[in-house]
C-alpha cells in the first residue's frame, strides 16, 4: 500500500529527486510550475546556471518575503532571485541560447508522455491558454529533457501512455520521467522502470501506466521526502 502524502509533500519529493539530475557545470532550464521548485534543492556545492527564456541567465532560489522584486520574474511570472554574476538579456538572445543547443538539461512539467518519448504539455483543447510558450524550442534545444509530473490525473487515469492524446509539444524528446510513483527512462527498447517510490509495488506501477514497462534488473528505490 502506498504511503499517504499530501500534495505539498509529493511535489517536494518530486522536485528533490529531479534536482539530483543536475550536475555541476550544467546550464539548466526549469519549466513553469513544479519545476521551479527544483532550484531550492540543488546542492550548494554544485556550480549550476539556471536559465529562463524570458531573459535571465542565473536564477537563484525562491525569494523570501522581504526579497520579493515584482520586476524580477521567471517565464511563469513567478518572482525569483538572481544569483551572483547573473546576466539579463532579451527574449531573442535567450532563445538563441536554447536553439543553439547550449542547455545541458531542461526539467519541465507534462500533461502526457508517450512510451516513445513524445511529450504533450502546452495545451488542452477547448481551454483558454495565453500562448504556446517556449517549451517547443526548449525540448528540441536541450541536450537532455526530464519531465516531472503526477503519475495519474485527478480522475486516476494514466498520464504515461502508449500514445499521447493531447497536442504534442515534441516527438521523441523526453529522456526521463519522474513522477510521485516512479522514475522511468525512454530507451530504444522501450520505457524502462528504473526507480520506484516507497510504498508502491511494480504491479501497482504497471497498473497505473498505460505504456508498456520494462523493469530494470537494477531497480532502485526513490529517496523519500524528509
Annotated catalytic sites, by residue? 53
Q: What is the DSSP letter of 160?
A: E
Do 175 and 185 form a contact (C-beta atoms < 8 A)?
Answer: yes
Q: Closest Cα to residue 146, out of 60, 62, 23, 57?
A: 23
**Integer-rounded Cα radius of gyration of the chain:** 17
Cα 207 from Cα 215, distance rounded (Å)? 13
Q: What is the DSSP letter of 66?
A: G
Q: How many CA atoms lie within 13 A of 195 on its CB side?
A: 18
Cα 160 from Cα 149, distance rounded (Å)? 10
Query: 157: Cβ–Cβ under 8 A, 6 or more apart, which residues?
Result: none
Q: How many CA atoms lie within 13 A of 101 on its CB side?
A: 3
Query: 138: Cβ–Cβ under 8 A, 6 or more apart, which residues?
Result: 29, 31, 53, 98, 103, 106, 108, 145
Do 182 and 193 form a contact (C-beta atoms < 8 A)?
Answer: yes
Cell of 28: 539548466
Amino acid at each position: 500500500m502506498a504511503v499517504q502524502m499530501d500534495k505539498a509533500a509529493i511535489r517536494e519529493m518530486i522536485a528533490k529527486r529531479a534536482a539530483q539530475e543536475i550536475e555541476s557545470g550544467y546550464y539548466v532550464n526549469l519549466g513553469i510550475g513544479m519545476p521551479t521548485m527544483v532550484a531550492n534543492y540543488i546542492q550548494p556545492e554544485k556550480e549550476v546556471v539556471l536559465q529562463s527564456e524570458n531573459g535571465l541567465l542565473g536564477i537563484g532560489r525562491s525569494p523570501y518575503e522581504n526579497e520579493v522584486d515584482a520586476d524580477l520574474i521567471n517565464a511563469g511570472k513567478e518572482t525569483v532571485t538572481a544569483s551572483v554574476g547573473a546576466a539579463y538579456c532579451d527574449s531573442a538572445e535567450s532563445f538563441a541560447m536554447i536553439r543553439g543547443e547550449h542547455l545541458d538539461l531542461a526539467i519541465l512539467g507534462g500533461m502526457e508522455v508517450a512510451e516513445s518519448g513524445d511529450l504533450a504539455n502546452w495545451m488542452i483543447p477547448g481551454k483558454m491558454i495565453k500562448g504556446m510558450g517556449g517549451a517547443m524550442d526548449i525540448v528540441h534545444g536541450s541536450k537532455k529533457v526530464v519531465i516531472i509530473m503526477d503519475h495519474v490525473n485527478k480522475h486516476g487515469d494514466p498520464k504515461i501512455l502508449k500514445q499521447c492524446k493531447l497536442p504534442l509539444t515534441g516527438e521523441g524528446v523526453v529522456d526521463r520521467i519522474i513522477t510521485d510513483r516512479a522514475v522511468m527512462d525512454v530507451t530504444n527498447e522501450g520505457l524502462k522502470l528504473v526507480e520506484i517510490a516507497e510504498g508502491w509495488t511494480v504491479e501497482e506501477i504497471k497498473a497505473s501506466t498505460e505504456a508498456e514497462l520494462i523493469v530494470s534488473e537494477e531497480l532502485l528505490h526513490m529517496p523519500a521526502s524528509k
